[in-house]
Amino acid sequence: KNQVEQSPQSLIILEGKNCTLQCNYTVSPFSNLRWYKQDTGRGPVSLTIMTFSENTKSNGRYTATLDADTKQSSLHITASQLSDSASYICVVILNTGGFKTIFGAGTRLFVKA
Partner 1 sequence: DAGITQSPRYKITETGRQVTLMCHQTWSHSYMFWYRQDLGHGLRLIYYSAAADITDKGEVPDGYVVSRSKTENFPLTLESATRSQTSVYFCASGLPNTGELFFGEGSRLTVL
Question: Nearer to partner 1 by C-beta: 14 or 99?
Answer: 99
Give exposure, 20-54, as e/b (b: 16+ Cβ within 10 Å): ebebbbebeebbbbbbbbeeeeeebeebbbbeeee
Shortest separation between residue 106's beta carbon and partner 1, angstroms: 6
Binding residue (CB under 8 A) for partner 1 from 1, 53, 69, 99: 99
Question: Which range binds partner 1 by CB under 8 A, 17-25, 52-60, 63-71, 104-112?
Answer: 104-112
Task: Using CB under 8 A, pick the residue from 46, 55, 56, 81 that binds partner 1.
Answer: 46
Question: How far is 69 from 42, CA to CA, in rounded Å?
Answer: 34
| Amino acid symbol at 54 | E
Q: Select the residue interacting with partner 1 from 19, 21, 25, 34 (CB under 8 A).
A: 34
| Interface with partner 1 (CB under 8 A), residue from 3, 17, 42, 72 | 42
- Does 37 participate in binding partner 1 (rule CB under 8 A)? no
Cβ proximity to partner 1, 12 vs 105, nearer residue: 105
113 interacts with partner 1 by CB under 8 A: no
